[in-house]
Structure formats: structure tokens, C-alpha cells
Amino acid sequence: MALGIIHGTLLWFGEILFIYGLFGLAITPFLFRSDKVLKAWIWLTFISFASVSLIFSSLLMAIDKFLPEEDLSASLSSKRALELDKSMLNGTYLDSIDSRASYWLETIPFLILFQGIVAFVAFLMGIYASRSNLLSPSTPEKHIFKMIKIGVIFGLPIQLVLATLWLMNSAAPNNSEIVHLGLTAISMITAPLLSVGYLGAILAIIRIQPRLVGWMKSAGKVSLTTYISQSIAMLFIFAPWGLGLFQRVELWQLMPIALTIWLIQSYCATLWLKRFNLGPMEAALNFLTKNR
């Protein structure tokens, strides 16, 4: 959690380590509960989250009918976010630290309620999957095929439609904050369908041709280092004291930029692990927590 605060303040406002740390502590009691209890909490938490998200989105849509879009956008737009945008356009690094810290403090309650709940459910599902060997090499082929079908038939089409609508709204001159929030909520609710498909596809590839995905494991072994170094790379690319590309690239250009960074990181991780057992951040975290 402390590392998350440092990361969100000094490097990148898209911070998730604090949330993972907080809800990682929250799942501790469930490590000793039965599978039945785990499944009950998974379904109860997810259904509650989905219901609240849909109600919240519906209320915003209803308010949008009576409140002019300009007024609603102004009320939803964060002064802290605008300050962060300004610092990323022409500010100094010290300016960005203050803006990031203020923005993080403003948004953390929302992140805990939404991203945090999703992480909590994912952690519980991870515990259950580990106990049940759902993602092991011995997973029956019929289960793998079922996972792929869920992703292809339901997950992929839904996310493609939502992504198209999100891009259309973002590119529109009079883009709507209401539409953005509504699509985000629906995407978070339905995203697990596509995630199941991804997992099934990866399991199938491991069975058929493991070399196609084996090269990715190095980045996974040093995931914390990968995460932090990606923030550093993005900061250099977009900040005014780096390449200054913030708000100067199209949405479609962000994907190849991110993919290129990740491929370079994966290659560097492979080279690093040939000489060391842990990544730099993993080694530092191990030193700070060992025997404590």
C-alpha cells in the first residue's frame, strides 16, 4: 500500500498497487474458509457490485434528461484532473507531483468502491481456482473449450460494441461524461466474460504450442518491476520534460505505443532473469519484508 502511494504520487496517476494491497489484506480471512463460502462471497459481491453500478449509471442518465450536458459535464469534471492535465502539458515535474497527489486523494474513494470491489472478487476467484486446479495443466479439454466459447460468443462481441461506442463518444465534439461513465460501468461488469475466454485460449496454446506464450513468463516473474518501469517509460513519453506527447497522439496510436513498451520490457526481463533470480523491485520488496 505504501508503494502504491509513492507510485501514484511520483510516477503515474493510474495507480492500482494501493487498491491491490488494501484488498489483498481484506481476503486474508478467506484463505481459511471453505470453497462453499468462497463461492457465496464471489457471487454476492459481484451481483451487488453489478446492481449498484447499473443503478448509478441509470441515475446519471435520468439526471442528464433534466440537467444541461454542459452543467453536468462541469459538475463531473474534476478541478484536480484539469490541474494534472495542465502540469502534463507545460508544467514541471514538481508541479506534476502536487497535481497527482491531489488527484489521487480525490479519486481514491471511487477507486476503492469500483476497481477495489472488482479486484476483491478477482482475488477470491483466484483462491478458488488455485484450490480447484481450474487453471492447471491437467484442466480437462472440455472445460478449456467452454471457457473459449464464453469469451468468443459473449465476451468479445460485448467488449467490441462497448469499445466502439466509447471511441465514438470520446471522438465526438460534444462528448458526454454520462455516456463515458455508463459504458465504463457496463464494461467492468461484463469484462470477466472476455477474461475467461483469454484464460481458456492461453491454456489451449500452452497445450498445443507452449513456445508461443512461454516467452511472456519472464515479464510475469518480474511483474512489479514491469509495472513500475512502464510508468516511468510512459511518464517520459508523455510528460513535457520528456517527449511531450500528452494530448498530441490519437487514441488509436496509444495501443502500439503500449505494446512496444511491453515487448521491450519482456525482452529485458528475459535477459535480466538469465543473471538474477528476482527483478529489481521484487528484490527491494523482498529485502523490506523479509523476516518482518
Q: Going residue by residue through the chain (292 aa), what tens digit of pLDDT does each one get? A: 888 889 888 888 778 899 999 999 999 999 999 999 999 999 999 999 889 888 887 887 777 666 655 555 555 555 677 788 888 888 888 888 888 888 888 888 888 888 889 899 999 999 998 888 887 777 888 889 999 999 999 999 999 999 999 888 877 777 777 777 788 888 888 999 999 999 999 899 988 888 888 888 899 999 999 999 999 999 999 999 889 999 888 878 999 999 999 999 999 999 999 999 999 999 999 888 876 5
User: Mind giving me the DSSP string for 132-181?
Assistant: HTTTSTT--HHHHHHHHHHIIIIIHHHHHHHHHHHHHHHHSTT--HHHHH
Q: Same structural domain for residues 127 and 3?
A: yes
C-alpha cell at 63: 439526471
φ, ψ at 233 (rounded to 5°)? -65, -45
Which residue among 132, 157, 183 closes a domain?
Answer: 132
Domain count, the chain: 3
Q: Same structural domain for residues 262 and 172?
A: no
User: Mind giving me the DSSP string for 56-69?
Assistant: HHHHHHHHHHHS-H
pLDDT at 56: 80
Q: Same structural domain for residues 275 and 194?
A: no
Give how far Cα 96 sits from Cα of 198, 233, 234, 249, Å: 36, 16, 14, 20
Q: Same structural domain for residues 13 and 58?
A: yes
Give how far Cα 153 sits from Cα of 34, 46, 132, 171, 196, Å: 32, 21, 25, 28, 11
Give how far Cα 51 sits from Cα of 28, 113, 115, 120, 193, Å: 26, 13, 15, 16, 17
**Is the distance from CB of 235 to CB of 242 less than 8 angstroms?**
yes
Q: Same structural domain for residues 3 and 114?
A: yes
**Is the distance from CB of 96 to CB of 87 less than 8 angstroms?**
yes
Q: Same structural domain for residues 236 and 198?
A: no
Q: Same structural domain for residues 29 and 111?
A: yes
E runs forming strands in 140-280: none
Rounded Cα–Cα distance for residues 162 and 139 (Å):
31
Rounded Cα–Cα distance for residues 54 and 148 (Å):
27
The whole domain housing 189 covers: 137-213
**Is the distance from CB of 269 to CB of 225 less than 8 angstroms?**
yes
Q: Same structural domain for residues 160 and 241?
A: no
